[in-house]
Amino acid sequence: MTDTPAELVHYDVSDAVATLTLDSPANRNALSRQLVTELCAHLERAGADDDVRVVLVQSSGKVFCSGADLAEATTEGMEVGARRIVDLQRLVATLDKPVVTKNLGAVRAGGIGIIAAADIAISAEDATFALTEVKLGLAAAIISLTVHHRMTPRAAALTTLGGEVFTGSEAAAYGLVTKAVPAERLDEEAAGVCASLATGAAQGLRESKRILNRDLVARIDALGEEMATTSARLFASDEARQAMTSFLARK
Of the candidates 170, 171, 110, 179, the residue with the CA atom closest to the CA atom of residue 145: 110
Distance (Å) of CA 160 to CA 44, 173, 180, 249: 31, 16, 21, 24
Q: Is 60 helix (H, G, I), strand (E, B) or coil?
A: coil
Helix axes 110-117, 79-94, angle to 10 degrees: 20
3-state secondary structure 97-135: CCEEEEECCCEECHHHHHHHHCCEEEEECCCEEECHHHH
C-alpha 225/C-alpha 230 separation (Å) is 9
Residue 211, H or E segment: helix 202-212
C-alpha 129/C-alpha 112 separation (Å) is 8
Strands of the sheet with 128-130, listed across from one edge: 107-108, 128-130, 166-167
User: What b/e readout covers 123-137, taking b as 16+ CB neighbours within 10 angstroms?
Assistant: bbbebbbbbbbbebb
Spot the catalytic one: 7, 72, 79, 133. 133
Q: Has 239 been annotated as catalytic? A: no
**Which residues are catalytically annotated?**
133
